[in-house]
Amino acid sequence: MSGQGESSAAGKAIAGCQDLMQGIFSRLPPQSMARCKSVSKQWLSWLSCKYFLTQKQAKNLTLAGFYYNSTYNTYQGCCLVPPLPTLLPQDDRHGTRRGILAPLNSSNGLVLLYNSYLGKGNSSFIVYDPSHADHITLPIAPSLVEKPDASLRIKRFLVYGFAFDPHSINPNFTVAELSDDGGSIRVNIYSSITNTWTTGNYPAIEPVDSFMLSGPSVFFRGALHWLLEPSGVISYTIRNKKLHEFTSVPGDLAYVDDEGVLQLC
């Protein structure tokens, strides 16, 4: 009985800690938050707090994963929970596993990895779930099976996007590749619902010869977002499959000279 009493006391202490509970609430889907409001007047007050609602809306859910950027310049990634060696392809002759696993992004607890295995030429994307030590290898991306003349074309940028929506009716994830395609933006999209890649081309941003995309993506309100250089943001809405450009970012142009070059010093 004493153990139950201590457990009950600990539970009450946790339930009465506003900062801790709001931290937990901030990670809940809207439906669960609505149910929590009926638990007590205290929880109702916390969940209705304007400051809490503002913080939750602004929360970058990508950071809820197991991934972070270690360097700003190269965007090299590190996993807080290292991927299992068994994710690497097995060498048929020696039984060893060879390759390089590079974390590209994370979204709501899943990690997107790129497996570069030059020995067999079967580089691929892997989606890894650290909490369950589970993974899935995606079909070969279109960019990895291009014709030689296309693959040798110099691309000014290649960015990746990753979105996992656990709160949708059918939880699913999306992987995106955006690259320069000589006057247009090429978009390769993988959907876990269909288990296939689709390819689309969109008009390039004006002026065509100077725009760039950079950095990992941010998934917010059903769309993937990337930085647009020298100023702005570009987004891809997953449901409508549309590319949108936002160049009127307040304060951005203050750091760009007359020739469109970013000046940080």
DSSP-H helix ranges across the chain: 2-15, 18-25, 30-36, 41-47, 50-58, 148-151
Q: Tell me, yes or no, whether 54 and 73 share the same domain.
A: no
Structural domain harbouring 227: 153-265
pTM for this prediction: 0.59
3-state helix, strand, coil split of the chain in percent (to 5) is 25, 35, 40
Tell me how many domains the chain contains: 3
Q: Tell me, yes or no, whether 192 and 177 share the same domain.
A: yes
- Look at residue 105 and tell me if it is in a domain: yes
Q: Tell me, yes or no, whether 84 and 162 share the same domain.
A: no
* Residue-by-residue pLDDT tens, the chain, 265 positions: 444 454 455 545 555 577 777 777 776 766 677 777 777 788 788 778 877 777 666 554 433 444 444 444 444 444 444 455 555 555 555 555 555 677 788 888 888 888 776 444 566 788 888 777 788 888 887 776 665 455 445 667 788 899 998 877 788 899 998 887 777 888 899 999 999 999 888 877 665 556 677 777 888 888 898 887 766 788 888 888 888 877 655 555 555 555 555 454 5
Q: Tell me, yes or no, whether 39 and 132 share the same domain.
A: no
- Look at residue 47 and tell me if it is in a domain: yes
